[in-house]
Amino acid sequence: MEKENKKIASRGIPSEFSFYLPAYNSPELRKFEDDTETPTRNLWHLDEVVNFIFPKKYQQTYNEIALKFLELLVSRVEIEGKDISEFLKQNSISKATFYNRVFPKLRKFGLIKVRRETITALESKRKYRPMHVSLSKTFGNYINKIGESWLAMVDDARTRKR
């Protein structure tokens, strides 16, 4: 007998993969282009960028945690696991919330990168792998690639129309 493939009803995109894009003319966003679709020269601040990953409107706690963590990382560029532990203690942040919700999404979206080194202790021969977390340009490159691809398609379509 053949088994029937049962489909689970979709409940939308899981939040761990979702990217928040408010309407381009939303009061949540500072103006980023003029009336002729030319980008303005102003840059968004860290809190405005974090709002795309963890929208304050829907995920305020995660937004606040991610913002504090990225502010720490921006000030130091690279931190170690022990620095993260200290950060969590100082800010009274749940390890479970940070390591299960905030940290993985920052990593998946390319805002941070994690490097581990394997060290073997001489006396006990035990291995341990300290974590090093640093800022990453991957998120910016990813978003730029999407934007540049779309701009090229629009320019191509407008050129063909003429």
pLDDT tens-digit readout, 119-147: 666 676 676 677 899 999 999 999 999 99
pTM of the shown model? 0.81
pLDDT tens-digit readout, 21-65: 888 888 888 888 888 888 888 888 999 999 999 999 999 999 999
> May I ask the CATH architecture of the domain 15-136?
Orthogonal Bundle (1.10)
- Sign of the CA dihedral with 52 first, then 58, 64, and 66 last: negative
